[in-house]
Amino acid sequence: MTHWIILPVMLPAMVAPFIILAARYHMSIQRVTTVASMIALIALAAGLAWQASDGTVTVYRLGDWAAPFGIVLVADKLSTMMVLLTAILGLIVSLYAIGSRWDEQGRHFHALLQFQIMGIMGAFLTGDLFNLFVFFEILLIASYGLMIHSGGNKRLRAGVQYVLFNLLGSTLFLFALAAIYAETGTLNMADLAERAQMVSADETVGLRIAAVLLILVFAVKAAVVPLHFWLPSSYAQAPGPVAALFAIMTKVGAYAIIRVYTMIFPPELEATAGLHTDWLLPAALISLALGMVGVLAAKTLDRLVAFSVIGSMGMVMTAVALFSEEAIAAALYYIIHSTLAAAALFLITDMIRQGRADLRLTAQAPVPGHLLIAGLFMTSAIAMAGLPPLSGFVGKLLILDASYASPLMPWVWSVILISSLIGIVGFARAGSTLFWKARSIETETAPEGTPPSALSAIAVGGLIALLIAHTVFAGPAYRYTAGAAAQLFAPEAYIDTVLNTPGKLSPKTEEN
């Protein structure tokens, strides 16, 4: 039953037009449809993950055209894990948007959310680089709409920056794809993996440029320094639930780097040797440090959280750049953790925004629902800063452990440990200003605004519960990510399944 693989893309693609066409003026129908489709997506994604968990790679040929000619979707452990994560995050974000009534403050929130989910799912599942570009565009164009949802001058301005930066990224992506096609004559990832090996050592100029351009594009998505400038203001200005959903978007970049640079341009490949250790690792370490310094230096809570996202992406990319099997497994474990923690923090920031004049880190009267929000903030800040007992600590430990064998171990260890300390100070300062100092301020009037609704609290509580589950079941989770990493480092099964599954045009004739 390989047809299941297309469903995570098809379901939102069909629900979104339904919402626009049939339920345009019926908010309750939109909400029910969104939640129902998200639950269905989780079920689908769980099914796919279960199917892939024994190491089988399933391939879906669109239009039944055989692999190098047609577009394929591929479900292996890594893809299905990311799809499941997206589905869970999608459900939580839609619950929060409903609970906090964000979806009523502009038009087409639910439809755009569906399109965004469709793009993300497609980007995780596709086995074709040009198709990856198309899905990137789908998720971006939906995110442009979501980013400026409910309008406002500041948000529009941040939206312009966000759109321009990503348009530039898309153009670079096309340059990279064209260069790869000119060099190898294919854009299918599995086929590319074979052909990149065949390029002779003294003719690698084009391929080398393409590989660097491609990593730049993915680094823009993953907000790796020095390509992170779009992130702080767009994430800070985006509506709360949207920013929480964007937590998975940076991971799309990380996913693409992991996928392309393990399979097509592995560190052993002479054409791209040194790209990981010489360039990606320093950039990742600088992002980690810069993110955490940003956490300490931020003057508003929304920017603080945005910088913590940069920091955690730096952590992920550090592990990715080490490029051993354990390091990738640790990176995948940390990706799950960082998505959940960042989403929780953005939602909590939004809860605080409801009850305060602004998000500046100054003492103001307590927000409604003070105790609950403070508790949630503390838990997710502990997770994000990587303190025990939550999964951030486990993830960091795994990354430190994986870097032990690397010759750059002193650098990695010192940057991770020192930046963690800075991050902890930053979060502690923010938390104490927002919640402790607030208690010392006497207010004459009752606090304005309403406490967060039960549904919003449930959504954030769900994220926290998932974080705790990710900690408690760290063993099984790590075994799964280790399995995914093992599959990435032995791509023969993937390549074989993609290229040798029969379809139309199957007796393979060489193109070009």
Q: Which residues bind other proteins (CB under 8 A)?
A: 130, 134, 137, 140-141, 144, 148, 151-153, 156-157, 159-161, 163-164, 167-168, 170-171, 174-175, 177-179, 181-182, 185, 233, 299-300, 360, 512
* Peptide bond connecting 507 to the previous residue in cis, omega within 30 degrees of 0: no
CB nearer other proteins, residue 163 or residue 283 = 163
B/e letters for 20-29, b = 16+ CB within 10 Å, e = fewer, are beebeeeeee
CB of 132 to other proteins, least distance (A): 13
Residue type, 18: F
- Measured distance CA(291)–CA(305) in Å, rounded: 10
CB nearer other proteins, residue 187 or residue 215 = 187
Q: Six-digit token pair at 307?
A: 């910088």
CB of 128 to other proteins, least distance (A): 11
- Measured distance CA(495)–CA(69) in Å, rounded: 14
Candidates 248, 300, 236; CA nearest to 93 is 248
CB of 88 to other proteins, least distance (A): 29
Q: Six-digit token pair at 53?
A: 């968990």
- Measured distance CA(87)–CA(76) in Å, rounded: 16
CB of 187 to other proteins, least distance (A): 8
CB nearer other proteins, residue 445 or residue 512 = 512
CB of 220 to other proteins, least distance (A): 14
CB of 506 to other proteins, least distance (A): 17
CB nearer other proteins, residue 18 or residue 130 = 130
Query: In this structure, are residues 172 and 216 in contact, taking their beta carbons and an 8 Å threshold?
Result: yes
Of how many residues is the chain composed? 512
Three-class secondary structure of residue 135 per DSSP: helix
CA distances to 177, 180, 203 from 185, rounded to whole Å, are: 10, 7, 15
- Measured distance CA(240)–CA(230) in Å, rounded: 17
CB nearer other proteins, residue 151 or residue 389 = 151
CB nearer other proteins, residue 85 or residue 129 = 129
CB nearer other proteins, residue 156 or residue 371 = 156
Q: Six-digit token pair at 29?
A: 């129908």
CB of 262 to other proteins, least distance (A): 25
CB nearer other proteins, residue 7 or residue 352 = 352
CB of 156 to other proteins, least distance (A): 4
